[in-house]
Amino acid sequence: MPLIFDRDTLTQKGLFHWDDKLACTLGITHPKTLKDGTQISYCANKGLENQIHVYKIHPSQPKTRVLIGSFTTKHLAYGHSMGLTEDYAIILEQPIMFKMEYMLEGKPMIKDMVLEQDQTTKIHVMKLSDGTVQTFDTNEWMIALHTANSYHEDDGTLVLETQTYSNKDSNPFAAVLFEKLDDINKIGDQEYGSKFQKISLNLKDGTLKIKDYMSVDNGSLDLPMFNPKYSGVKNCFTYLSPYFGPT
């Protein structure tokens, strides 16, 4: 539920109300922006089916979400970030979900989450011009919280660069639990299988390739940053923050 804050005092000033009727149960934390200032984002919705709605917000109408397209998912999929070029939105359907009954019981977010250890990550590529979707199965268990750049190779291959966590026995959100941060014997135990990866999506033949740029067994490689002037264009440098554990 979006709130309005005073940007100077951070005092809550009430609920934010959209000017549209788009149904959303869960939004994401990090939307992306096109060169003309249009924001692209998505939300998951729990209805008769579990759906993902991809939408755009033009700077001239900041309270109106315009639906680009939708697709169904197996569960109420949790999303944190996404990939974007001027032509495509890249959505990760990850093996981490929210249990609606836990949410209704008022449990903390970390307790609402369930790791689907028998599932793999799916990547949905939506064409911004018409909302059509092409889906890729990574055949790997991974959770991506923060994506880096997305761009096209010279041969047309679509690339998503992102950090991922690959240990299906560990929820990466547990890294910031106070019970771990406050215990000197636990704070160094961060075996989440952290990686920084290049995911190449061939839109012509539907194949996918994954390349590991960097990886650590204990600790995190996260919060990738790059020069935003190169958003959607192949760039040379990306910077990551290593934290927790002997990285």
Q: What is the pLDDT along the chain (247 residues), one digit of tens a residue?
A: 678 899 899 999 999 899 999 999 889 999 999 999 999 999 999 888 999 999 999 999 999 999 999 999 988 888 999 999 999 999 999 998 877 777 777 777 777 888 888 999 999 999 999 999 999 999 999 999 999 999 999 999 999 999 999 998 888 887 777 777 677 777 667 778 899 999 999 999 999 999 999 998 887 889 999 999 999 999 999 999 887 655 4
Q: What does the pLDDT read at residue 23?
A: 93
CA–CA separation, 216 vs 196, rounded Å? 9
pLDDT for 50 equals 92
Distances (CA, A) of 216 to 16, 49, 99, 237, 247: 41, 37, 30, 19, 7
Distance CA 134, CA 147 (A): 19
Give the per-residue pLDDT at 247: 43
* Positive or negative: CA dihedral 124, 230, 153, 85: positive
pLDDT of residue 245: 56
What is the pLDDT at residue 83? 97
Among 125, 142, 47, 27, residue whose Cα is nearest residue 85: 125
Burial label, 25 (beta-carbon count in 10 A; 0-12, 13-18, 19+) = middle
